[in-house]
A and B are shown apart, each in its own frame.
Chain A
Amino acid sequence: MFRTSPFIETSHLVKRYGDLLAVDDASFQVFGGEIFGFLGPNGAGKTTTIKMIVGLLRPTSGLVKVGGYDVVLQPLQAKAACGYVPDEPNLYPKLTGRELLRFVGDLYGLDRSQIIRRSEELLRLFGLIEAADETLDSYSHGMRQKTSLAAALVHDPKVLVLDEPTVGLDPRSARLIKDILRQMADRGAAIMLSTHILEIAQNMCDRIGIINKGKLIAVGTMDELSKLGKGESNLEDIFLSLTGGAEYAEIAEVLK
């Protein structure tokens, strides 16, 4: 892994909705060539942070840079460098898979031949070629999730941000996505993904950030995180220890 200047950089990032502090002073960096796992309990502020990184939400204060560009001041350059896969694959239901990829390619200013070549490659790669001319409302959740990922990859981004990318995917597709992400990182792209499946985070991610109640409580490699905890060696124990495992123990007690 090579360290360059950070591809994603947040500094004292804050997002406030009225009285609710959704993200509280989050600062972290993601470098080219690494996969950064972003973990946290439900409602911790993962999706809000991710939405600020990809330019879907304006931060209340603080700085977000993607590909070296300030997302607030230079949004077009930052967005051009980035691919985004949301947690819910909401895609235009009346477009076909092929039309969607070409539409996204046009939005990112690719030339026609490039768009056609890339979209055909991606449709083939994700096993969507046979359904490519069907409208997206006839796709299953998994197919839409794969189309969403394909759309994020059309312009071959240097930064890829994924919110729960493996939800609703069969094991084969989940494996395919993991392989693609690893290959992209090996080619120098920065990958940031949020997930609830700690096994994926532990096996795939080079570094992990844990957010709880809007605060980034830990960032580091697995070794660094285990030092922060009580010496636990697996991510699940570290996560529960850092985010308050007591409540989980209580739930387990109730279910007995």
Chain B
Amino acid sequence: MSLIPEAFPEPGLWISVWRLLRLRILILISGFRRAKIGVKIRYIIAGIFLLAILGLFLFISISLLDFLRSPELIRYIGDSNLFLESIPTMMVSSSALGILVTGFGVLLQVMYLSGDMDFLMSAPIPIRAVFIAKMVQAVLPNFCLISAVTLPILYGLGIANGYSVLYYPMVLVVLVILSLAAASLAGLLVMVAARIFPARRLAEVLGFVVGITVFILSQSMRFYTFEVNSQQVSHLLNLAARFNQPWSPLAWAGQGLVDLGKGTWLPAIFYLSAAILLTSAVFYIALSTSERLYYTGWSSLQNNRRRQKAITTTRPSEVQRREVEHPLARLILPSIRAILAKDWLVYRRDLRNLSRLLTPLILGIVYAVSMLQAGGKDLEGQGEAPAWFMNVIQGIVVYGDAILALFLGWMLIANLAGVAFSQEGKYYWILKASPISSRQLLTAKFLVAYLPTMILCGIYLIVLEMIKGVSLWPALVSLIAVALPLAGLTGIYLAFGIRMAKFDWENPSQMGRSVGCLGTIAGILFLAACFGLFIAPPFLFGLFGFPVFIGQIIGLLFGSVASLAAVIIPRGLIEKRVATLAES
């Protein structure tokens, strides 16, 4: 006897897909409705801005494509028709490739880390509907972003070339089909990757590698010099035209679109049918393979099982002796030392945190190399400038390394001190329930941010000054003029970070603004003023003919007092707040 009183009416595939997508749309609308008025205004402005960008892209595309067909340019670079006809292929191929690459990370997130797969898979709806809905959900934002660039270019090409009216809807159809096929391939790749690595770790590594690579590439562009001449432009256009190869399935779609636009129907039907059939087949095979692999638990089984570790049998007394005998360890309270060790371990092991620290370092190295490439030596010759002016400029050049080191330190401290408390997140209860005072906690967090920054900036400055051959005394003054203001900055940013501390995040990117706008301005002003206190007296002494050494001593005194004040005063103001953190 069946337990179900009536036969369950099996819902259709596309009805189920729509139901799942409708739920997402409802969540989006509900999120917008419940958002604060400021957030709503931001969304609306972003929407208008996006539309304006789309319009701008369309306008630029039409103008640019018209320009490419102008006789003056053809005289300069040769015939551009081949290039113009390869644009659809380039655009369609790069869209598909873009979806494949970006879809991997998003699909990993929605299939393995969102936590709703079990719920959806156990619901009486076709598994395929779950997969299609997940795929659309994952790919749609990236598809919209990519289309914001490709559609205006392709439509611009159509308008500029006077293509047939059928060209415009077909562009959209081709982009959608190719994107879905690319997404299904990305889904299959996710399955394979999740079979080998734990999904969460994979997402972390992916985010880290992609973020750092993009950042390094964007920064390394400053070392390349581009030269625009007719030969290079012509070579570049020919290179782009080479994408349009008849054996490439991605080129079929592009070629079909061009033929459709020109009204050469037979090749258009042939190329477009071949492209659509092939991509549909890829989509179907990849999708059905993915869902079968997921359902059979293939990717949940990991084949990289770690080797069984031998139980460590370190003798307690040995470990104790080794740690207690460390001379520096005795200077710091055990509870503070424990927080330092914990925070540095977490920073090192969590790639999401590590990438925030590596970014300033990369930037610091890039700027240092740029500065050294640009000369970085003392000024030569005076020209018609007065002597006092040259003295001031010379002084700034001498302390240029220190300014660069301060810049690096500022970026590091904004990332370390600003989020010193927020980064505890939902684990903050461990510190809050333990017998450590607010003062100890503040000291620990101060050292967590300041010590590595001071060491890194110190090494950075010493290396720069060694390369430039700066003598010992100015180098020492620079070192102090960097180390102490950074201590003050740590105090200020720690205080602002506590004011804006957020503990309810799931992902470090949700920690929010580390010190806020006011904190950033206060920090930069302090750094500039404090550094000024260090270097202004020697300048002024030199300018008025007094001994520069005495000016340097006075600068050290003023700067040290200001730095110390910035460490102590914000700490005193914020100490009571620490006791009540994470109670709201």
- Chain A residues with a Cβ under 8 A of chain B: 54-58, 75-77, 79-80, 82, 84, 86, 88, 90-95, 99, 102-104, 106-109, 111-113, 116-117, 120, 129-130, 132-135, 137-138, 151
Contacts and interface: CB of A to CB of B under 8 A. Distances in A.
A41 B168 CA distance: 61
Nearest to A54: B433
B307 to A, nearest CB: 12
Given A94-B350, A95-B345, A135-B349, A112 B319 contact: yes
Contacts of B582: 56
Contact of A95 (B309, B319, B346, B580): B346
Interface stretch (B43-51, B127-135, B310-318, B530-538): B310-318
Contacts of A112: 316, 319-320, 323-324
Contacts of B317: 113
B482 to A, nearest CB: 31
Question: Which of B317, B338, B345 is packed against the most chain A CB atoms within 10 Å?
Answer: B338
6 contacts: A56-B433, A58-B583, A75-B579, A107-B435, A108-B434, A130-B309
Contacts of A137: 200
Contact of A90 (B324, B429, B435, B579): B429
A90 B433 contact: no
Contact of B316 (A77, A107, A113): A113
Given A90-B426, A106-B337, A109-B335, A116 B319 contact: yes
B198 interface: yes
B311 A129 contact: yes
Given A94-B349, A112-B324, A133-B312, A103 B433 contact: no
Given A104-B430, A106-B335, A112-B324, A79 B316 contact: no
Given A79-B435, A91-B430, A113 B583 contact: no
Contact of B435 (A80, A88, A95, A130): A80
Interface in B423-448: 426-427, 429-437
Contacts of A135: 349
A131 B200 CA distance: 19
A156 to B, nearest CB: 14
Nearest to B320: A112
Interface residues of B, number: 39
Contacts of B342: 92, 95, 99, 103
Given A84-B433, A109-B334, A57 B346 contact: no
Contacts of A79: 433-435
Contacts of B306: 134
B338 A103 contact: yes
B2 to A, nearest CB: 20
B263 to A, nearest CB: 60
B216 to A, nearest CB: 25
A135 B201 CA distance: 12
Interface string B298-333: 000000001011011000110110011000000000
A92 B316 contact: no
